[in-house]
Amino acid sequence: MENQSSVESFHIQPSSDPFNTIMIPSDEEVLAFFVETPIDRKHDFLKIIEGMSKEEPGINEVWIPSGFAHNYQIKVGDVIEVAGVDGKGVYTVSAIVYDPLFVSGLMNPTRIWVNSGQLSLLYGIDQLENLAFSLRLTNLTLTKEFLQDFDATFPTLQFTYSINYDTLKGVSNMMTDIIGNGILATSILLVLISTSLIFFIVSGEIIRDYTIYGVYKGLGFSLRQIKNLNVFKYGILIFITYPISLVLSFFRYKTHPFCL
């Protein structure tokens, strides 16, 4: 596989069924699949956020992605339960990791990392028929060409669960896109409301100063000059208040509790 010019690196790891059900500390059943941690990994690098730093989980230990941990309020030291060949298996969460491929809490099922050789103990060697296959291409534009060559080379292989770059990108950006679109819609609504308020305020000011315009006309001002006076007056207000509002909004943004 690595002899192909389009492939930068690849991993083949023992894996459980992709739609395996586990019991989390909140007594809720969720979907997840177990993958043995490769020691000589060339991609799929994990960064331990919470827990002891080591090469792989210990026996009867698991590493879980940060998005999954946040969604279900799972902490280091909590236990999860999974049905195995000898009955119920209990595993301790020894670390919460940053898993680039499964960083989003919207990924379902999620990927959980276990010790090398742990799956054969959990499910039995005879029952362990699944493999997780992951690869990194030298260029994303070669994806279609690679898949065509792969299907032609291995026509009998079947994947019950697969994820490509576009899926990962879409899921990772989904919450950001939703929040961004919400902010955009709110901003447009506020601009429309502000424009309407400014229109009614200016109209009210003009009606209130109607008698003053009569004085201006008596002094020889033309209608065009009176209009220009109003434009100048409100233009000065905008010129003064606009930079102030920008400065205040900047400091408000910097001090917002959700601003990183």
Q: pLDDT tens across 123-164, in order?
A: 776 656 777 777 778 787 777 787 777 778 777 776 666 777
Neighbours of 170 (CB within 10 A): 13
- Tell me what the pLDDT averaged over the chain comes to: 77
Comparing 85 with 230, which gets the higher pLDDT? Answer: 230
What's the token pair of residue 135?
């690869």
> What is the predicted pLDDT for the residue at 4?
67
When pLDDT is cut at 50, 70 and 90, the band that residue 257 belongs to is: very low
Euclidean distance between the first and the last CA atom of the chain, given in angstroms as a whole number: 41
pTM recorded for the entire structure: 0.60
Q: What is the pLDDT of residues 212-245, one digit of tens each?
A: 777 777 778 787 887 787 778 777 777 777 677 6
Cα 58 to its chain centre, rounded Å, is 29
The strand ranges marked E within the chain are: 7-14, 20-23, 29-36, 47-51, 61-65, 79-84, 87-98, 110-114, 131-137
Q: Tell me: the pLDDT tens digits for 14-65?
A: 777 767 788 888 888 888 888 887 766 666 778 889 998 888 898 889 999 8
